[in-house]
Amino acid sequence: MRSVVIAANWKMHTAPSDAGELAATIASRTRVDAPVERVICPPFVCLAAVRDALAGSGVAVGAQNVHHELSGAYTGEISAPMLAGLATWVIVGHSERRRDAGETDELIGRKLRRAIEAGLRPIVCVGEQLAERQAGRAAAVVRDQVHGILTAYGDATIGDPAADLDSAGVVVAYEPVWAIGTGRNATGADAAAMADTIRASIAETGLAELAGAAPVLYGGSVTAANIAEFLAEPGIDGALVGGASLKPDEMAGIVARAGLTAAARAGGAG
């Protein structure tokens, strides 16, 4: 049974002076009896404050990015080894990194390699732009992204890519870029269809076990009001939450609904 995951991406919000308090509030408001994996990904400068605030809460800490090299002359960058003791998860290839930093699938695959080498659990982001969806190319774009990332990952590793990926707990987040902060809405059916595409694309690279085991999250302007539509789809295993993740009430509602999904799945498996 795949994990149900709710990951909060705070983006460029909060400072060390207030991040810990917000994280602690969210942790206390999102306790559920069902097995929901909760992750908070604050800015780099807030990682230590959030780590300390979440100690013993059951909520994990994630970084929003990682560099594709272990060290070197890369001013302003953060490598995977630098995150040791600060985070246990990391977001790789977020759409805003693609947009603002020009990250390619090849580069994201190398970042994925570094994350796994460092023992970080990765959330790998894929998704299409509005023009690509309107042109009927949404599935092809996401398929190419999955193939490109996993091919680059395989090229960057010395060991067995399949074994490493299967044991790393890889999570994939589907980001319909056209539905993030635009007022446009993806539907549960849209997300479910793309989750199927993602899993089929993973399997096409020879990673059938990962295709079945990897949770697929929805990440397109998730709120407490719309999360139920996405979690009602069997192929969707949680959410990568942006703006709503800064609001304890919103996070409480999102995680509560995820708890119902996790409990129902556990009951069905039993």
For residue 92, the cross-strand partners are: 124
Per the annotation, the verdict on 175 as an active-site residue is yes
Q: Up-side HSE of residue 261: CA atoms within 13 Å toward CB? A: 27
From CA 173, how far away is CA 222, in angstroms rounded?
A: 12
Closest by Cα among 232, 234, 230, 227 to 251: 227
Rg (CA), the chain: 17
Beta-strand pair 36-41/171-174: unpaired
Q: Which of 96, 128, 175, 250 is the catalytic position? A: 175
CB 61 within 8 Å of CB 32: no
Per the annotation, the verdict on 94 as an active-site residue is yes
Q: Which of 37, 67, 94, 128 is the catalytic position? A: 94
In whole angstroms, how far apart are CA 197 and each of 77, 142, 145, 165, 200? 33, 8, 11, 19, 5
The set of catalytic residues is 94, 175
